[in-house]
Amino acid sequence: MTGDETPPILEIVYQDEWLVAVNKPSGMLVHRSWLDKGETRFVMQTLRDQIGQHVFPLHRLDRPTSGVLLFALSSEIASQMMPMFAGRDVKKTYHAVVRGWVKEAALLDYPLKEELDKVADKHATAEPEAKEAVTEYRPVATAELPIPLGRYQSCRYSLVEMKPHTGRKHQLRRHMHHLSHHIIGDVNHGDGRHNRLFRREFHCHRLLLHASELRFTHPVTDVEVTVTADLDETWHRVLKGLGWTPDDLASEI
């Protein structure tokens, strides 16, 4: 970001004297990384400047993923919350648009090997071991577009709700790939033909994966907190194009 640009304003979806949560935009990194030296916009620094105090990230969202991102406002609260995330006491709900019709709800228990970074892990010699990875998912809406693609005369898509029980890197994207229900807009684990179709038909140039909800017991008040994040303009355009509405996110087939 140059000196002439206005800093982005993050949507704060929850705040008290101990915690703050934002609706992270797709394409924005959570914090600075030497792997992305050319990037100038980060959620952590932007939020710090926006509220005028230091923030401590409690978890992360991949750069292309949007939605609820929670921070502590002190290192003490962070030290209390981090074990809750590690111990699966924080319940996360995501929504995604995927290729194909997902017919029924299921629990996928499919171990994943850690994805090594081409730069940071270039000297690694040992093959990573597969670790437990569990995702609960269910279909909430389906659609069919009368657009030929490959050997099919139409394209089928599903709106899917996912609840990860573990936190492996790119878990939801890799699990949907394993099921051949690739998340639209995923350039690493997706289907390029469907990604191109969504760019052409809906001007969708982002990953259609959104962290919709975070639920946890507050570390100080001991009250259950539910934080939600609305969908962005691209999501609304895609939902309309597929004949869905935001209300479908709460429905069940």
10 with 22: CB under 8 angstroms?
Answer: yes
Q: What is the DSSP string of the chain?
A: --TTSPPPPPEEEEE-SSEEEEEEPTT-BSS--GGGTT---BHHHHHHHHHTS--EE-S---TT-EEEEEEESSHHHHHHHHHHHHTT-SEEEEEEEEES---S-EEEE--EEPPPPTTTTTT--SPPPEE--EEEEEEEEEEEE---BTTBSSEEEEEEEEEESS--TTHHHHHHHHTT-PBTT-TTTS-HHHHHHHHHHH---S--EEEEEEEEE-TTT--EEEEE----HHHHHHHHHTT--GGGGG---
Out of 4, 16, 49, 62, which one is annotated catalytic?
62
185/112 Cα distance (integer angstroms): 21
Q: Active site includes 36? A: no
* 135, 162 Cβ separation under 8 angstroms: yes
Q: What's the Cα-to-Cα distance from 34 to each of 19, 39, 119, rounded to whole Å?
A: 27, 10, 10
Residues identified as active-site: 62
